[in-house]
Amino acid sequence: MVAKTYTVAFDGVTARQVEVQCTLTPGLPSFSVVGLPDKAVSEAKERVRATLECLTIALPSKKITINLSPADLPKEGSHFDLPIAIALLAAIEAIPPDQAEGLVSLGELSLDGRLVEVAGALPAAMCAAAEERDLLCPAASGPEAAWVGDCSVYAAKDMSAVLRHFAGQNPMEVAEPGAVNNTEHQGCMRDIRGQERAKRALEIAAAGGHHLFLMGTPGSGKSMLAARLPGILPPLDASEALETSMVHSVAGLLKNGGITRDRPFRTPHHTASVAAVAGGGKGAKPGEISLAHNGVLFLDELPEYPRNVLETLRQPIETGRIMVARANAHVEYPCRFMLIAAANPCRCGYLTDPAHACARVPKCGQDYLAKVSGPLMDRFDMRLEVPPVSFQDLDLPPSGPTSAEIAERVVAARAIQSARYSQNPEFRTNSDCDGSKILSVAAPDSEGRALLSRVADRMGLTARGYHRVLRVARTIADLEQSDKVARHHIAEAISYRLTMSASGHLG
C-alpha cells in the first residue's frame, strides 16, 4: 500500500503542491527520502524517527521509502518534516489514510515531537484552498495561515496533538486569523521647519506612487523628509495586503501570525549586496525590492551604493517584477515599489552651499553623481534640490498641514486613480500607467501641450521623461480634483523634472 499526503514547495511567493508518498516493502530495515530533497529534507528522517520514539510508536522492520512528487522539483526546507511523518503514520495505519490524503501540511519537528514554526504558511494555505484541502501547521503558524479563509486551518503544538486529532479523542479547533498590526508612525510632516517645496513633492509622490530623488547638503533634512513618507501613504487594501504578506511570509518576517495594512518602508544600508537588494542567496530568497512591494524603498546616500546594485534596479522599476536567476533556481518575485533616493551634491556635501567653499567645483559634483547612471536617473519621475535650513527657521512655530491632513488628500487622489484604472487592473496609480494610456488620460490642454513641447525640444527630454512628466501632471491634477490637465499642472511637473542642473542628468 502507498500512503499519500500533501505539502508544498515554494517557487518564489507561489506554493506548488507536492505529493508525499510512503511505502513499506520487505527488505533490510532502512529509511530513505527521494525526490530531489536538499540536506534539510534528507535529515527529516532522523527527526521523524526521534519524534515517533517519543510517542512510543515503533517503526516496522521494513524498507521505508518516502517519495516527494514531482521528483524533478527541488525540495528545500525543514517544513517537509510534518508531511513525511503523517505519510509514514498513514502507511502503518496509525492514522486513517483517507484523512491524511485530504490534507496539506507543513512544519518542522523537534526531537521531542514539538512542531516548530516555519516560513511560508500563508502561500501554503492558498495552495490548500485551491486544492480544496485542509491545512495542518504548527500552532505558531496557524494565525498567519488562517488569513486566507478559504480552507480549514488546524494548528498543533506537537505530534501528540495531531494523533489525538486524527483519533477523534481531542479534535483541534480551526485556527483564527492573527491580529492586524498597525505601526505608530514617528513624526509629523508639520514638525519639519521650512522645506515647503519638498513637502509638496512628497505629497505628489505619495499620491501617484512616483519615484523621487532628493539632493541636498548634509543636514538639510532629506532623510527626515523620507522618514515621514509612511505617515502620508494610504493603507494597503485587502489584495495589496495579501500580496505583501505573502512575500514577507516566504521571507519569514511575519511574526505572531499578524499581518499589517501599513505599506512597507525598507531602508537597506549602502553596503548591501546585489543578493540582499535584488534577491538571491540560499533558496533564492526575496530581496529588499520585493520586501518593499506595494511600499517604499528608501536608498539614502545613493551614489555610495555599488554600481552593480544600482543597475539591478533599472528593470524592476519598469516592470514591477524581478527574476532571480541562479544556477539551480529561477524564481520570480513581485517588486512594485516607490523608489525614494537621497544624495549629497558631491563627496564633501557642500557643492551647492555658498557658505562653504568646495575646492574642486564643479568636478567634485560631476564625479560623485556620475556614479548614478543616466538611465537610472531618467527613471525618477521627480528630482528635487533640498536647500539647507537656517537656524533662524528652526525657531519658527510649526506650519503647514499635518501628516493626517496630507494623507486625506493622498487617499482622495488615489481613489480617483482607482476609479480611472478600474478596467486596467495592472495599473493602480498614475506611475504604473504605460505610455500609450497616459497619453490619453493625461492629455493636457492646448497651452499645456505647447509648454511641454517647447521644454521637450529645448531640454532634450527622452520619451520616458516626456511620459513621466505627464504622469506627475496627472497626479497634480488629481490632487486638485481636476478632470483636465492644465498648463499649471504641466509647469509644476516640469519643475520637478528639470531642477537637477548640478547632477548633469537632465531629461
Q: Identify whether 138 is preceded by a cis peptide bond (ω within 30 of 0).
A: no
> Which SS3 state, helix, strand or coil, does residue 483 take?
coil
Which H/E stretch holds residue 285?
A: strand 285-286
The answer to whether 211 touches 234, Cβ cutoff 8 Å, is: no
Cα–Cα distance measured from residue 51 to residue 31, given in angstroms and rounded to the nearest whole number: 14
Q: Which of 112, 90, 111 is nearest to 99 (CA)?
A: 90
Residue closest to 275 by CA, chosen among 284, 264, 263: 284
Please state the three-class secondary structure of 32-69 as a single string: EEECCECHHHHCHHHHHHHHHHHCCCCCCCCEEEEEEE
For residue 366, the tally of other CB atoms under 10 A from its CB is 15
Low-confidence ranges of the chain (pLDDT < 50): 501-507
State pTM to two decimals.
Answer: 0.90
Per-residue pLDDT, 274? 94
**Residue 480 in grid coordinates:** 486638485
Distance CA 282, CA 252 (A): 14
pLDDT in tens, 152-206: 999 999 999 999 999 999 999 999 998 887 777 778 898 888 888 999 999 999 9
Q: What does the pLDDT look like over 32-87, one tens digit per residue?
A: 999 999 999 999 999 999 999 999 999 999 999 999 999 989 899 999 999 999 99
| Torsion angle defined by CA atoms of residues 201, 205, 208 and 211, in that order, rounded to the nearest 10 degrees | 130
Q: From the CB of residue 342, how many other CB atoms can be counted at a distance below 10 Å?
A: 21
